[in-house]
Amino acid sequence: DDASAPTSAPTTSDESQIRTVFDDPNNFNVKHPLMNTWTLWFTKPPSGKGDNWNELLKEVISFDSVEEFWGIYNNITPTSDLALKSDYHLFKKGVRPEWEDSQNKHGGKWAFQFKEKKAVNIDALWLHVMLAAIGENLEDEDDNEVMGVVVNVRRGFYRIGLWTRTVGKALPGDAGKGRTFEQGKETLMKIGRRFKAALQLKDNEMVEFSGHTDAAHAGSTRAKAKLTV
Amino acid sequence: DTNKPVEPAQPTAGMQALKSARFLQVRNESVIYPEGIKSPNPALNQGTKSKGRQYDKDFLLQFKDVFKEKPSVDWDMKVKETVGDGSGDSARPSTGR
């Protein structure tokens, strides 16, 4: 029909026509944008020779489309194959997955430990949590709470966590947003319930929230939970 | 001269497509997906403020077996340097995949 179309292109691939990866995985011309750019990080298990945390925490790659996510996911070591003391972290770009990051230091996390390691499909669970994060199913657009998600591989358990920017309190930079502590807490509870749904947990399997500084002061991540869903 | 001339790996068609593809305007362009492919749940993107970039799990999972391109030609080396092959310090021998 169009005589000016490049002759090398297949007859069906008019450039003005939308071609998704489902139409042609080798010659698509549109990709699905994510709301945020996400960065995947990896924590290497310590070698036992006194390595410092900064050398163990590595930035792997950042991405901002659905297609790119799957290219990465399909070509990276599955969680079930990772050595003990490894972590994957999937965080919004610009936020380091550490308590000390300025955007995390007033925050906390929802977390659940899977103690029966052989009984759970950790690869599917971690995938579903990542999809809930990048698909923006964990928070509503103005919540501005989700910082990232993390999976920890340990001897006795897998743990999946969701880091939030606050513990419900308004932060100094948030002046004017007019969110009361009760409203902030309700936002965290809503995010916790969605996180629990993404993990496909039963009602009686409780997901617990703790502030990062509580955990820091307790000297471990086993801080006492403030909220549960 | 220790620098053996190595033919640089060429990006695949899929890698190039990902790089050159433009972002879909999810709210303003209606995509007709091939038969059997579900569209993103429209309810997720009907909020007045939504940029149309929310996707439900069932929509996202459809890409799993469709797009398997490595992010770059040197990806395997990058994974080995950062994540390793999963063998860690264990006795498991590393397997060339």
Summarised one tens digit per residue, pLDDT across range A62-77 is 999 999 999 999 999 9
Higher-confidence position of B49 and A106: A106
Residue contact A25–B66, C-beta within 8 A? yes
Q: Are A157 and A114 in contact (CB under 8 A)?
A: yes
Q: Which of A31, A6, B27, A73 is nearest to A23 (CA)?
A: A31
- pTM listed for this prediction: 0.87
Residues of A in contact with B13 (CB under 8 A): 26-27
Residue listed under structure tokens 């792997």: A60
Mean pLDDT of A172-177: 69
Task: Tell me whether 0.90 is exceeded by the ipTM.
Answer: no
Higher-confidence position of A185 and A172: A185
Strand (E) or helix (H) holding B16: helix B13-20
Q: pLDDT grade, residue B43 (50/70/90)?
A: low
* Phi, psi at A109, each rounded to 5°: -150, 145
Best residue of A32, A79, A194 to probe chain B, by most B CBs closer than 10 Å? A32
For B57, the closest of A65, A72, A131 (CB atoms) is: A131
